[in-house]
Chain A
Amino acid sequence: MSTLHLVNRPPERGDGLAAALRVAAPGDAVLLLEDGVYAAARGTEGATLLAGRDASVTLHVLEPDLRARGLAGRLVEDAEAVDDAGFVALAVVHGRTASWS
């Protein structure tokens, strides 16, 4: 059973992303939401942290939060933008969720 890790803050405001990436197992997913979407912006500390993750840990970003912050054109390459239905789908696919802030 895999885990969906929800991260709602960028590393500049908390160690939640670092903690999530430390424990993410192969096949897990990370979903950045709320202020956490800043971590997927190119050139940020978050982007650097994310680049070091296991290749099989998928990265997703909640699209409404992305668009709200004007970040749509600034995403790192391997991030997948998902809408609210996509968020639900991720929570269905992965057997458990853990929230990190």
Chain B
Amino acid sequence: MTPPPRLLFLARRPPYGTGLAREALDAVLAASAFELPVTVIFDGDGVWQLVRDQDPTGIEEKCHGAQLEALPLFDVEDLRVHAPSLAARGLTAADLLLDATPIDDAGLREAIAQADRILSF
């Protein structure tokens, strides 16, 4: 029996400025309902989605960080963060609200090579 296709979600936008980060999250949750292997990679400005202590009450938006923290509850546990993107933004793992596996360029390449379908947001 052929294994199910692996879906890779590339999250490259920061939260709140556009709706893309939230819409990407909705798509990840939809995929989780199919019980498929799902990988989410936060890359480029997408790493900002993982920064702790988000408080969007002043801009009257839902807290994106809180929704990301709930991902493991939906069995979405393969979360990876592009380490060079963190470093380029003065961030370290200690600044993040969840445990995402740090990967470098080679790791990003490998994740793409292992994916059957890539959804870019």
Q: Are B115 and A22 in contact (CB-based, < 8 A)?
A: no
Query: Is A56 in contact with chain B by the CB < 8 A criterion?
Result: no
- With a CB–CB cut-off of 8 A, which chain A residues contact B113? 1, 3, 25
Task: Give A7-41 interface residues, CB cut-off 8 Å to B.
Answer: 15-16, 19, 22-23, 25
Cβ contact within 8 Å between A100 and B109: no
- A98's contact among B10, B44, B45, B105, by CB below 8 Å, is which? B10
A25 to B45, CA, bound (A): 22
Alpha-carbon separation in the docked complex, A76 to B102 (Å): 36
Q: Per-residue 0/1 for B12-34: is the Cβ within 8 Å of any A Cβ (1 yes, 0 no)?
A: 10000000000000000000000
- Known contacts A1-B113, A25-B109, A98-B10; A19 and B43 CB within 8 A of each other: yes
> Is A58's beta carbon under 8 Å from chain B?
no
Number of B positions contacting A (CB below 8 A) = 15
Query: Which residues of chain A have C-beta atoms less than 8 A from B115's C-beta?
Result: 96
Q: How far is the CB of A52 from chain B (nearest CB, A)?
A: 14
Q: Does A99 contact B (CB under 8 A)?
A: yes
Q: Which of B12, B43, B116 meets A96, CB within 8 Å? A: B116
Q: Smallest Cβ distance from A67 to chain B, in angstroms?
A: 26
Cβ proximity bits B109-121 to A, threshold 8 Å, 1 near / 0 not: 1001101111010
Is the beta-carbon distance between B117 and A100 smaller than 8 angstroms?
A: no
Query: Contact: A22 with B118, CB < 8 Å?
Result: no
Evaluate contact between B120 and A96: CB separation under 8 angstroms: no
In the complex, what residues of B have CB within 8 A of residue A101's CB?
12, 120
Residues of chain A touching chain B, judged by Cβ–Cβ distance below 8 Å, are 1, 3, 15-16, 19, 22-23, 25, 95-101
**9 additional contacts (CB under 8 A) given A3-B118, A16-B12, A98-B118:** A15-B44, A19-B12, A25-B109, A95-B116, A96-B116, A98-B10, A98-B112, A99-B118, A99-B120
5 sampled A-B residue pairs with Cβ under 8 A: A3-B112, A19-B44, A23-B105, A25-B112, A99-B118
